[in-house]
A and B are shown apart, each in its own frame.
Chain A
Amino acid sequence: MSAPQATWILSVCFPDDLLCLNRAVGILRRQSLPVSNVALGPTGRPGTLRLSCALAADRATAERTANALRKMTEAREVTLHAEADCVMREHLLVRVRVPPTGLSALLDTVSLFQATIVEERPDELLLEATGTSPFMVSFLRALEPFGMIDLVRGASLALPLPTGRAVGDSSRLPAAPSRNARAVPA
């Protein structure tokens, strides 16, 4: 019987250098595992990058992968957390058509999902939103009828929660799908 699978958030910090990034990606690739949501960005420490990704694997495999990254000479920190113990956010920029008679409906959707209007034109809006992956799926589904011209969506950024307690802001948005929701609303 195979070990139970779970989603893990694996994160490695290393010097802000392409060779280090190349090495880290190479180690991950070599494990030949389903890796998704690869995200890269600066950390609070100057000159240090954080590469994080989601890994679908059993615990032993996830730990073996983290250990492989720890062998990288330049690795400054490697952490592994169950997805449930992390807060995760995606970032989205999307250009949406403004239908001749649909501006009001579009603005309602923007308001419902707490998106920000970055730029306004007579026939299109550039919107910005952050939230969990299911939240983004819901938002994009809601925008589909208007017609999306272009979009860019960042991978999930993840930070482990200090207490493991879920942090949500759903109380502020009782009527809308929470941007922190873990499940896609029906």
Chain B
Amino acid sequence: MTELLSGAHILCRLLEEQGVELVFGYPGGAIMPFYHALPESPALRHILVRHEQAAAHAADGYARASGRPGVCVATSGPGATNLVTGLATAQMDSSPVVALTGQVPRAMLGRDAFQETDVIGITLPITKHSVMVDDVTEMPDKVREAFAIATSGRPGPVLIDVPKDVQNQRMEWSAAPTASGRGGRRATGAGARASTAVKLLEAAQLLAEAQRPLLMVGHGVILSHAYAEVQALAERTGIPVITTLLGISAFPASHPLHLGMPGMHGEVHVNRAIQHADVILGIGLRFDDRVTGNTSAFAPQARIIHVDLDPTEIGKNVPVAVALVGDARAIIAELLEAVTPRRCDAWLDEIRGYQRARHETYRGDMAPERILEVLREGSGPGTTVVSDVGQHQMWVAKLYGYQDRNSHISSGGLGTMGFAVPAAMGVHFARPTRPVWAISGDGGFQMNMQEMATMVQEGIPVKMAIFNNGYLGMVRQWQQFFHGRRYSATPIWSPDYVKLAEAYGIAGYRVEHAGQIEEAVTRAIRDPGPALVEFLIEQEANVFPMIPPGGSLSEPIESAPAAVPAS
């Protein structure tokens, strides 16, 4: 059966066809036909955010937690440009976000019309793909293709720009697909399989002969749901496991083979293990500079086996001895059959010998460890922690102890302050019955705290924790270490967060000493709606250890330098 429908109605039907249930957005002039059609698609729930950046982060959070594409909508001009940071965040962290933007009518394009921006041009380098629907007849194929591109292969954001008059154009619509979306471009021929088989044997051989092997696990393990396969590989071979920032929660933190996080703020024993390793099997990570430090000094003795879905990642940052291109889950499952069971007890003993007592000292008793311990115990299993960016992000990554799969979500590649609160809203909709914490610093929280209004209006029970030290802490730490303690523009004033929460109708708690942590966290968790807990932590607490930018993993800073007057 066919119907005569507008482009906006067809867009809604296409979203339904793609299984979309949730749309984060903000209306405006050029997207009004879409919003006019939206109420006729009750399967699509719209979440009205308070800023389009939050719509993109929320869609990203939903996508990361659910594994399904997250959708955000904005009008043309400022609406579209406000999405940009969220799309770049999704691009860097391989998250399948589909952004729909209204555009001025086709006849007005290129005339600097009201709220016209070339959003396709703006987002070209920060999306996996971007496309304008030039005519309503193109709508079905372009929308289906957008969803296929966003979710196939290595996921990523896709932007669809729809001029207002195209949204109003009418055409005969039939629910039957007119064309299939394009799939990922993977090597699946017999030649590719044979080549992979040889490389699997090479990889298995390297792992069997290694004296000091390591598994480095990245976001790709979470994206491909290779949890069981990776754990089985580790247990069969006894190889210790390192999880990158986005690989955290791909492997249980309490597992005896789990070492921790590598890189700039990785533990000393983790980085030292990398520097002493003779074979590293990297699964679904891109060896970025925050992981490797100075690449020429990274893992100098190691031959690297790299498993990645994206062939362009192979050899991009570090030289690779064996490349296995494809889905991590499938490859590790095959590798599992090829490896020889073994143990690495002597190597594990050696790594344990590298372990150091923490050097952090905190004045008072508001240690991040204690706060996170109470959060973890109070929230229980099944909790998702969404962190923002900065010092607290490192504490949350290293000290929480993630047991549940994909229970840690953060902006890794782009390092987007302001990510946690809106992304946590998206996570809630993917996991509506499970607790979600958004943990931010006082800087990042103030970047998107307007979303408390969204939480109240839409009934989103995200629990917000603010690690308030009165500084943009990570930048302040760099200023302390590398800029002669000149705290330029890093002291940051905060409003009274408890009163602010109350103004939004949200329960708010301030924790000034350790004795208050448990009660505040417990009350926040018990509150059926959103709740906010502000932790007043030590102002000049630092994250240790630290590899200086561009430095080698072998040379960590483990204590703050003596105070040097600013020159």
**Which of A63, A68, A71: most chain B Cβ within 10 A?**
A71
Q: Is A81 on the interface with B (CB-CB < 8 A)?
A: no
Q: Which residues of A contact B149 (CB under 8 A)?
A: 73
Q: Which residues of A contact B129 (CB under 8 A)?
A: 73
Which residues of chain A from 51 to 99 have a CB within 8 Å of any chain B CB? Answer: 60, 63-64, 67-68, 70-71, 73
Question: CB-nearest residue of chain A relative to B118?
Answer: A22
Q: Is A34 on the interface with B (CB-CB < 8 A)?
A: no
Q: Which residues of B contact A60 (CB under 8 A)?
A: 315
Question: CB-nearest residue of chain A relative to B132?
Answer: A19
Q: Is A185 on the interface with B (CB-CB < 8 A)?
A: no
Given A73-B129, A73-B149, decide whether A67 and B311 contact each other with a Cβ distance below 8 A.
yes
Given A73-B129, A73-B149, decide whether A23 and B312 contact each other with a Cβ distance below 8 A.
no
Q: Is B561 on the interface with A (CB-CB < 8 A)?
A: no
Q: Which residues of B contact A22 (CB under 8 A)?
A: 121, 124
CB distance from A86 to the nearest CB of B (A): 23
> Within the assembled complex, what's the spacing in Å between the Cα atoms of A73 and B128?
8
> Within the assembled complex, what's the spacing in Å between the Cα atoms of A63 and B312?
9
Find out whether the CB atom of A67 lies under 8 angstroms from the CB atom of B124.
no
CB distance from A71 to the nearest CB of B (A): 6
Which residues of chain B from 96 to 134 have a CB within 8 Å of any chain A CB? Answer: 120-121, 124-125, 128-129, 131-132
Q: Is B316 on the interface with A (CB-CB < 8 A)?
A: yes
Question: CB-nearest residue of chain A relative to B125?
Answer: A26
Given A73-B129, A73-B149, decide whether A26 and B315 contact each other with a Cβ distance below 8 A.
no
Find out whether the CB atom of B124 lies under 8 angstroms from the CB atom of A70.
no
Specify which of B124, B311, B316 is in contact with A23 (CB 8 Å cutoff).
B124
Q: Is A30 on the interface with B (CB-CB < 8 A)?
A: yes
Which residues of chain B from 307 to 341 have a CB within 8 Å of any chain A CB? Answer: 310-312, 315-316
Find out whether the CB atom of B316 lies under 8 angstroms from the CB atom of A64.
yes
Q: What bracket does the count of chain B residues touching chain A fall in?
A: 10 to 19
Find out whether the CB atom of A70 lies under 8 angstroms from the CB atom of B312.
yes
> Within the assembled complex, what's the spacing in Å between the Cα atoms of A68 and B121?
18
Question: CB-nearest residue of chain B relative to A70?
Answer: B312
> Within the assembled complex, what's the spacing in Å between the Cα atoms of A68 and B125?
11
Given A19-B120, A73-B149, decide whether A67 and B125 contact each other with a Cβ distance below 8 A.
no
> Within the assembled complex, what's the spacing in Å between the Cα atoms of A46 and B120?
26
Find out whether the CB atom of A26 lies under 8 angstroms from the CB atom of B311.
no
Over the window 29-49 of chain A, the binary record of Cβ atoms lying under 8 Å from chain B Cβ atoms (1 yes, 0 no) is 010000000000000000000
> Within the assembled complex, what's the spacing in Å between the Cα atoms of A63 and B124?
22
Over the window 1-43 of chain A, the binary record of Cβ atoms lying under 8 Å from chain B Cβ atoms (1 yes, 0 no) is 0000000000000000001001100110010000000000000
**Which of B120, B131, B312, B315: most chain A Cβ within 10 A?**
B312
Find out whether the CB atom of B316 lies under 8 angstroms from the CB atom of A26.
no
> Within the assembled complex, what's the spacing in Å between the Cα atoms of A71 and B149?
11
Find out whether the CB atom of B312 lies under 8 angstroms from the CB atom of A67.
yes
Q: Which residues of B contact A63 (CB under 8 A)?
A: 315
Question: CB-nearest residue of chain B relative to A75?
Answer: B185
Question: CB-nearest residue of chain B relative to A29?
Answer: B125
> Within the assembled complex, what's the spacing in Å between the Cα atoms of A30 and B120?
17
> Within the assembled complex, what's the spacing in Å between the Cα atoms of A27 and B311?
17
Over the window 129-147 of chain B, the binary record of Cβ atoms lying under 8 Å from chain A Cβ atoms (1 yes, 0 no) is 1011000000000000000
Q: Which residues of B contact A64 (CB under 8 A)?
A: 312, 315-316
> Within the assembled complex, what's the spacing in Å between the Cα atoms of A71 and B286?
15
Specify which of A19, A26, A30, A71 is in contact with B312 (CB 8 Å cutoff).
A71
CB distance from B149 to the nearest CB of A (A): 6
> Within the assembled complex, what's the spacing in Å between the Cα atoms of A27 and B129?
12
> Within the assembled complex, what's the spacing in Å between the Cα atoms of A54 and B425?
48
Find out whether the CB atom of B125 lies under 8 angstroms from the CB atom of A30.
yes
Question: CB-nearest residue of chain A relative to B149?
Answer: A73
CB distance from B331 to the nearest CB of A (A): 20
Find out whether the CB atom of B128 lies under 8 angstroms from the CB atom of A68.
no
Q: Which residues of A contact B121 (CB under 8 A)?
A: 22
Question: CB-nearest residue of chain A relative to B128?
Answer: A73
CB distance from B316 to the nearest CB of A (A): 6
> Within the assembled complex, what's the spacing in Å between the Cα atoms of A22 and B129?
12
> Within the assembled complex, what's the spacing in Å between the Cα atoms of A22 and B123?
12
Question: CB-nearest residue of chain A relative to B154?
Answer: A71
CB distance from A19 to the nearest CB of B (A): 7
CB distance from B183 to the nearest CB of A (A): 12
Name 26 interchain pairs, CB-CB below 8 A, sorted by A: A19-B120, A19-B131, A19-B132, A22-B121, A22-B124, A23-B124, A26-B124, A26-B125, A27-B125, A30-B125, A60-B315, A63-B315, A64-B312, A64-B315, A64-B316, A67-B311, A67-B312, A67-B316, A68-B312, A70-B311, A70-B312, A71-B310, A71-B312, A73-B128, A73-B129, A73-B149
Those 4 A-B pairs whose CB atoms lie nearest each other, nearest first: A67-B312, A73-B129, A26-B124, A26-B125
Residues of B within 8 A of A (CB): 120-121, 124-125, 128-129, 131-132, 149, 310-312, 315-316
Given contacts A63-B315, A64-B315, 4 further A-B contacts (CB under 8 A): A64-B316, A71-B310, A71-B312, A73-B129
Residues of A within 8 A of B (CB): 19, 22-23, 26-27, 30, 60, 63-64, 67-68, 70-71, 73
